[in-house]
Amino acid sequence: MGERRRAILVPQYLKEFRCIGSACEDSCCVGWRVDIDNETFRKYQKVKDEELTDLFSKYMHRNRATNHTDANYAKIKLMDESRCPFLNESSLCKIQIKRGPEYLSDVCTTYPRITNIVNDILEKCATMSCPEAARIALLNPKEMEFDECDEPVTARNIVRTQINTNELKFNNRPHKYLWEIRIFTITVLQDRKYRLSDRLIILGLFYQKLQEYLEEKRVDDIPILIGTYVDNLEKEAFGESLSGIPAKYHIQMELLKEIADKRHEMGINSARYMECFAEFMNGIQYNSEATMDENGARYREAWENFYEPYMKDHEYILENYLVNYVFKSLFPFDEEAEVFDAYMMMVIHYALIKMNLIGIAGYHKGLTDQQVIRLIQSFAKAIEHNVTYLNAIKNILKENDYNKMTYMAILIKN
């Protein structure tokens, strides 16, 4: 009898992804905690290999937190420079070499893949914190496409979120239109008639309206709202309103820098990301004594002379990042209670990446694909997974009343 298989939905790049192991510039465990699931922990306790047994007893510890689960039953204590103690001098995993891949924990087996279950279908993509996944997913100039395929039912996955929008509890909630909203969002993000900044502003206008509809309890008007926006997109009816939005470099930079600085308080200290951030500061010669206008003028110069000449032909990199973000996070229904908050968080990710790249472009007097991947990968690793930091940013925006489309447009528009 053949092995049983199940349907999965994946972006095409995931089928090409292969871990590059010792050739990787930023091995997955560097700078992170490595969780060990209960089943793997028990397996490790039975291993009879002196070197591994010594390492297990020295570096593997039960997770004593009261809210631990089977998935984080134990953890590996990292060594200096946040390196996993099981990596050999070629950065290959000793557990895998000595015992085979079936001895890897769920986290080590599945990384960088992220799995959600939507209406009983497994959806998989990759986090951009893996440099090889980021290269394959982001550097493809073609639109990101998705395929239905299958995998053995025995394949290991860590399910991040599970949702069934057909359940009764979603009858009066926008979640029942998850697929319509998702397809619309990805269609706008991939509509290359518009610059990416304009596509994001069009989405903002849509999510602002959607938020109003939800406050007025007009859930079943969502398909009509989507239809109106699709018509307007096809007729290119947004042109006039978009061209009237001015670029405000100094406000954009000050706002984003304030958000970026918050990371110090949150203990974000990834060496790779900090290197990129230092290049950003250098690239715009940021000076805390200078006026907002003086710093803003240097930021603008870096954008005009070095970022824009590269990015006008490489917008697909950030487009692919955003499409992956939407798919991975079940946007707009993942972490955020309100749809406009979810939009705001997506804009923050985009705007912080852009801000850093503008400074890096100034520092190197131009940009290369390699520099862009290094920034996005280290940003994803240091920031995307840090819920505390992301919530702190959301609070800054709300406390200052910046969670409005006017401010979102300032963050987006150059």
The nearer residue to ligand SF4, 329 or 377, going by C-beta atoms, is 377
Using CB under 6 A, list all residues that contact ligand SF4.
19-21, 24, 26-28, 111-112, 130, 132
CB of 352 to ligand SF4, least distance (A): 21
CB of 134 to ligand SF4, least distance (A): 9
The nearer residue to ligand SF4, 24 or 297, going by C-beta atoms, is 24
Please identify which residue in the block is written with the tokens 């003028």. Answer: 297
The nearer residue to ligand SF4, 37 or 132, going by C-beta atoms, is 132
The nearer residue to ligand SF4, 151 or 315, going by C-beta atoms, is 151
CB of 96 to ligand SF4, least distance (A): 11
Please identify which residue in the block is written with the tokens 């619309």. Answer: 184
CB of 93 to ligand SF4, least distance (A): 9
Instruction: Provide the residue type at 396 as one letter.
Output: I
Q: Confirm if 318 and 350 have CB atoms less than 8 A apart.
A: yes
CB of 87 to ligand SF4, least distance (A): 9
CB of 132 to ligand SF4, least distance (A): 4
The nearer residue to ligand SF4, 38 or 96, going by C-beta atoms, is 96
The nearer residue to ligand SF4, 27 or 295, going by C-beta atoms, is 27
The nearer residue to ligand SF4, 107 or 409, going by C-beta atoms, is 107
CB of 328 to ligand SF4, least distance (A): 16
The nearer residue to ligand SF4, 104 or 342, going by C-beta atoms, is 104
CB of 131 to ligand SF4, least distance (A): 6
Q: Burial, 181: exposed, middle or buried (Cβ in 10 Å; 0-12, 13-18, 19+)?
A: buried
Q: Is 185 helix (H, G, I), strand (E, B) or coil?
A: helix
CB of 271 to ligand SF4, least distance (A): 15
CA distance 88 to 357: 34
The nearer residue to ligand SF4, 17 or 350, going by C-beta atoms, is 17
